[in-house]
Structure 1
């Protein structure tokens, strides 16, 4: 049975995978959700973010299946940094900031809980 921490990583990965596919399949909606204009010059950056989300959606569940505790720990700091940067951008960027931050905190707390 997977650990609670692996479960948090797995859920984060699946939500990332879904978000990535949504952004690829519905780019106008994705850009609108982040308050970005639907311009040809913005699409490459939007597509890159979507592909990065899809990649995370693949390797996070893989790390969860492997119970890769070092990976789990490293993601906490990076996700908190990402949440901070997104939060500073304000507006619609606060939603992904909360997703990143709450996910990181949940993973961190579960790692501490399981280490006792």
Structure 2
């Protein structure tokens, strides 16, 4: 059974992969949702590919129970949350997604550590 932290990372990886595929298949939707000009299409496609890759990496890390990876993702995802939030508008939706994922993983890591110390 995967640890609680691994489950949060699996969820984040799966949604990242899914959003990447959706954005790659329908980049015009991404552009309009985020109020980006048509000239941003190459960047949107690159972002979609990065989301797909990130989904694969996160899923692999979850399968490996890579707690160091889990721990290092929390501050980075919180930074991403802040940057997206400060962009305002439609960028606040991915900010919330990142923030919930980061806090969930952080809490799951603490909870898992507390469970391990109680079992000693």
TM-score under structure 1 length normalisation: 0.96
Name stretches of at least 5 consecutive residues in structure 2 with no aligned partner.
Answer: 115-120
Name stretches of at least 5 consecutive residues in structure 1 with no aligned partner.
Answer: none
Equivalence for 1:14 = 14
Equivalence for 2:65 = 67
Q: Distance in 1 between matches of 2:89 and 2:41?
A: 20
Q: Distance in 2 between matches of 1:31 and 1:105?
A: 28
Equivalence for 1:87 = 85
Equivalence for 1:57 = 55
Q: Distance in 1 between matches of 2:107 and 2:24?
A: 32
Deviation at 1:60, TM superposition (A): 0.3
Deviation at 1:74, TM superposition (A): 0.3
Aligned length: 114
Secondary structure class of the residue paired with 2:65: coil
Secondary structure class of the residue paired with 1:42: helix
Q: Distance in 2 between matches of 1:12 and 1:33?
A: 21
Deviation at 1:34, TM superposition (A): 1.2
Deviation at 1:45, TM superposition (A): 0.5
Q: Distance in 2 between matches of 1:24 and 1:60?
A: 19
